[in-house]
Structure 1
Amino acid sequence: MDPQLSRTRVARIKLDCLSIPHEIADSLCLCGGVEGLIDRLPPEDLIGRMEERFKAFADPARLKILFLLLTQPLCVCVIKAIVNMADSKLSYHLHILKKAGMIKGEQQGNYIVYHITEEARAFLEQESMHF
């Protein structure tokens, strides 16, 4: 017996336990059933990294900071003056962006100058085209 056909039959049996439309069940069988779908999921560590990045992009204050840094590297004092927020709150947002790999800080004398990463730059430029 063809191994692909055998796998499809096993997947079909497991799908018969679910109450779903026949068209969905048929297409699920072609990809190996529920197990086949599960096998196609990205690894948990990748999902975690993606979650962190999407959370970083999900706040208007952080998006403003990213768009400022898209224009040029800036020190904290300039960012603070533009976004008009308390030091502790700005520090929190910068920490989230750094943790997600969206920005990097570089010590220059008494100042920390923040730069947007290439990954964040590419994402913002691509997403901006959709609006």
Structure 2
Amino acid sequence: MKRKTTSCCGMPAEKGDPATEIPEQIQTELDAMGGLEALASHIPPAAELEMRGKIYQALSDPLRLTILYIIKDQPLCVCVINRFMRLSGSKLSYHLTGLKEAGLVEGTYEGNWIIYSITDRGRRLLQCTEYAVR
């Protein structure tokens, strides 16, 4: 009968199973940096990861990128954005909400109108996307 051990992931493993053992070089380097605890300390807090996910999701949609470009130079009301985008009101609202949750745009009330403008974060990230494709 083969002796059972625990793999690096805490799962039962057969001793000598190459799929569950950490390669020696990786284990040495991992130990030198302080082990799994040190590796875990390099991961941002969950709230920050969630925000980054929202940002990447917002920037991954061509419609949202178009909205950012539209309001990059001038804050605009929803009616102007909608005339340009030609989206249903609910679809435009959905995309603006995603951009707001990611901190890329902000809306301010002026009477009965909501005027959308790009935030500093949105402007910086839009420039990064331009740089990334050059």
TM-score by length of 2: 0.78
The structure 2 residue matched to 1:62, chosen from 61, 64, 73, is 64
User: What is the SS of the residue equivalent to 2:117?
Assistant: strand
What value does the CA root-mean-square deviation take over the aligned residues?
1.9
Name the counterpart of 1:34: 36
1:112 maps onto 2:114 in alignment:
yes
The structure 2 residue matched to 1:53, chosen from 52, 55, 63, is 55
Which runs of structure 1 show a deviation greater than 4 angstroms over 4 or more consecutive aligned residues? none
Q: Larger helix proportion, structure 1 or 2? A: 1
Amino acid at match of 1:68: I
Name the counterpart of 1:25: 27
d(CA) in 1 for partners of 2:38, 2:111: 55
Name the counterpart of 1:75: 77
User: What is the SS of the residue equivalent to 1:129?
Assistant: helix
Q: Deviations over 1:24-75 (max 9, x none)?
A: 2221111112221012211111111111222221211111101111122111
- Tell me the percent identity: 38
d(CA) in 2 for partners of 1:128, 1:96: 20
Q: Which consecutive residues of structure 2, in runs of 5 or more, have no partner in the other structure?
A: 1-7, 10-15
User: What is the SS of the residue equivalent to 2:72?
Assistant: helix
User: What is the SS of the residue equivalent to 1:101?
Assistant: coil
Q: Which consecutive residues of structure 1, in runs of 5 or more, have no partner in the other structure?
A: 1-13
d(CA) in 1 for partners of 2:100, 2:23: 45
TM-score by length of 1: 0.79
Name the counterpart of 2:130: 128
Amino acid at match of 2:59: F
Number of residues paired by the alignment? 117
